[in-house]
A and B are shown apart, each in its own frame.
Chain A
Amino acid sequence: MGDDDMLDTRIRNALHSAVDDWQPNVDSATGRLQDAIGASRGPGWRAPRGQKSREGRRRLGMLRQGLRAGWALPVAAVMLATAVAAVPTLVYRTHTPASTPGGSHSRTPGPPAQNLPAPTDQLSLPPALYPPGPSDLPWQLHTATKLCGPGYRHLDGNLGVSLPGTGRTRPPETIVYLFWNARSGTACVATVKARKPHTGTRTTAYLQPDRAPRSTATGADQAVVHLRVPTTSMPGGGHTPYNPPAFGGCIRWGGSDGTAQTSFDNTRFDNTRVYYTSFANGDQWPCP
């Protein structure tokens, strides 16, 4: 019973916190409603009860008359034209990327995005793996500060990884980075489009320390996820400013560039790469 109550509360809280901060503008909506009601009095206006049957009989009579008089074709043409004219009003606008630019994860990464300092934390990607080309500038501009906020360092042994594979032959499409902020004890995974940015590609990033829940983020062109690494799982305790904590656990992280056509019920992201990083020695390491 206690579990049931907890589930209820969880669902209720999540649903409320998902939309309750949203305050649609009632005043402007009232104006739109008045316009809409004014428009609905046009040809599509349906008369209230009582008047309806008389109106219907009148229309039916006109139609019969028209048929008898051989007006069937013109009448049909007019009806068709009306139907065609009415169609655009029925079509709903589908997703609008301009108004929903991939959530707040994408452009303004979580922690305070203050004035960005000089890019001292420029990432150095091995040229052997990613030969820079004239059109592949964007990823050279990725810095830990720009992606995750101040205080983040790029973790050793985990350079950017190309998503569609084949990093050796051509520059990566999308890069997934793992960063670490020693001061706040927060890890950060950023998935960024490296080629052809600003195409609105859905990207995802996720982060999952050992025995802890997974945290994910999605966004257009770039996705950034932050997660505090639980201190309880750090037997070693302290860590030096620029080194990850030696808690001996491992962290799963990865991302996708969403090029795959994921259907609604299919949560598997194609082109997802999963990496394991052991904080004990900074190497990529398969989690047990």
Chain B
Amino acid sequence: MAAAVLAAAPGTTAVPSALEVLFRQRYVQLCRLAALMLRDRDLAEQVVMEAFTHTYAARGRLRDPSRAEAYLRQSVVNEARTVLRRRGREWRVNEVSASLARSETAAPVEARIELERVTRAVQKLPEQQRLTVLLRYYADLPEAQIADTLNCAVGTVKSNLSKARANLARALADSDGTGPDG
């Protein structure tokens, strides 16, 4: 299926059907991943859209057609990183739960607390560790593919993952206890 993206004639004006298929299959998933990275759903949709346009524009340069999806994922991650970097200090920690957890009224209080606590801990991680955690635990990618997506070595992924887990365990233990301050 992904291979068919390349098969589309470069000169056609309509969206190639193969890209549309890929789009329909992966759009929601990638949007959610981007939303976790950016903590903003509208922005996430924009980023994914941008990634798809890039992938379409780059279809002539893709050497390995089977890697169109990987290219797409990498594109989403890179776009999201750029946005985060550009946004930089505008970001307020207060916005974390606001933009992420919008429809949580239905969930029981305990579930909401748990969600809030864990996502907050994840979002406090350094960027590399956070991306690694998202790709590992949300996108369920194997380490090799994470390394591919983040453009780093498998060893780096492993070390980031173990650091992130240690950080998370510590943060969660803190917030499970009596709390950091009085």
Contact = CB atoms under 8 A, between A and B. Distances in A.
Contacts, number: 205
Nearest to A41: B13
B46 A15 contact: no
A29 B42 contact: no
Interface in B158-174: 165, 168-169, 172
Contact of B102 (A104, A216, A269): A104
Main secondary structure of the interface of B (DSSP, over half): helix
A226 B181 CA distance: 20
Interface residues of B, number: 76
B35 A15 contact: no
Contacts of A204: 94
A14 B96 CA distance: 14
Given A14-B122, A18-B119, A48 B28 contact: no
A215 interface: yes
A186 B133 CA distance: 35
B151 interface: no
Contacts of A21: 103
Sorting the interface of chain A by its residue count into under 10, 10 to 19, 20 to 34 or 35 or more gives: 35 or more
B124 interface: yes
Contact of A17 (B13, B53, B96, B107): B107
Which of A24, A45, A227: most chain B Cβ within 10 A? A24
Given A8-B137, A99-B42, A202-B95, A34 B14 contact: yes
Interface stretch (A76-84, A128-136, A217-225, A237-245): A217-225
Interface string B118-145: 1100101000000001100110000000
A96 interface: yes
